[in-house]
A and B are shown apart, each in its own frame.
Chain A
Amino acid sequence: MITQYENVIIKTICRLLIPFIQLYAIYVLMHGHYSPGGGFQGGVMMGASFILLVMAYGLDEARRRISVKALTIYACLGLFIYSGIGAIALLMGGNYLDYGKLPLPLSSIPKIRAMGILGIEIGVFLGVMAIMIFIFLAIASYDTGGKDD
């Protein structure tokens, strides 16, 4: 079980770093079309920022900020975004995950496909972020009997 350290340096540095880590995670997600990156990498970074929070401030502080219920909603929402985009393509008369059939007001099919890729990357981002924190919290708070549901 991780308890709170009374260490000002660690706490201050983490408080300063975490917003930047999260910003960078979103940059990695959004810039995945042009440079290495994408939903999975961004999601892991986002999850890591929460894990850093837990490590610096302890589990009790983390519990006030994130609940397993909210994480479940994020994870399921992310996967629904992904499979839902595919299903919309299916409903619009294409094959599953055929982003070219998405009803978006864009000039050409490749651009619509790029938007479809962005959409599913956001889904992956949410899902991976939530589940990375899930796994960490489930394992870290095991001794406490998991009283933060």
Chain B
Amino acid sequence: MIDSLMSKYNYWIYIVLMMIGFYAMIGKKNLVKKLIGMNIFQTAIILYYISIGVKKGGTVPVLMEGLPHAAAYVNPLPHVLMLTAIVVSVSTTGVALAVLLLIYRRYKTLEEDEILKSMR
């Protein structure tokens, strides 16, 4: 048990972070807080992917002279995937902020229950 905890605690931390973000996304009433939760969720997934690539004793994935072994470098593939995921996260945030501006102009508030109240 302790063994498994010590070797995998990092995944657990990311899962806790993800769940904080997920809770904000589905539990909060303020639309900006939902957006912040979304960013936390996505960032935690990025951390999770990066930690897949880690190798003990591995260095940054830039090839050095005289060190051609795969075991000497961390796995570059998760880094590449996460560059893409970062861009996706930025883009989603941008579009969501633009939508929030439209909502704010229409309802003059960003609280979900107040918006729903003013809709009826």
A interface with B by C-beta (< 8 Å): 34-36, 40, 135, 138-139, 142
With an 8 A cutoff between CB atoms, is B53 at the interface? no
B interface with A by C-beta (< 8 Å): 60, 62, 83, 87, 94, 97-98, 101
A-B contact pairs, 14 of them (CB 8 A): A34-B62, A35-B62, A36-B60, A36-B62, A40-B83, A40-B87, A135-B94, A135-B98, A138-B98, A139-B94, A139-B97, A139-B98, A139-B101, A142-B101
Residue ID in chain B nearest A35 by CB atoms:
B62
Q: Roughly how many angstroms separate A59 CA and B35 CA in the complex, as a whole number?
A: 26
User: DSSP class of B's interface residues: helix, strand, loop or mixed?
Assistant: helix
Instruction: Give chain A residues whose Cβ lies under 8 Å from the Cβ of B60.
Output: 36
CB distance from A23 to the nearest CB of B (A): 22
Instruction: Give chain B residues whose Cβ lies under 8 Å from the Cβ of A35.
Output: 62
CB distance from B85 to the nearest CB of A (A): 12
Q: Which of B60, B94, B97 has the most CB of A within 10 A?
A: B94
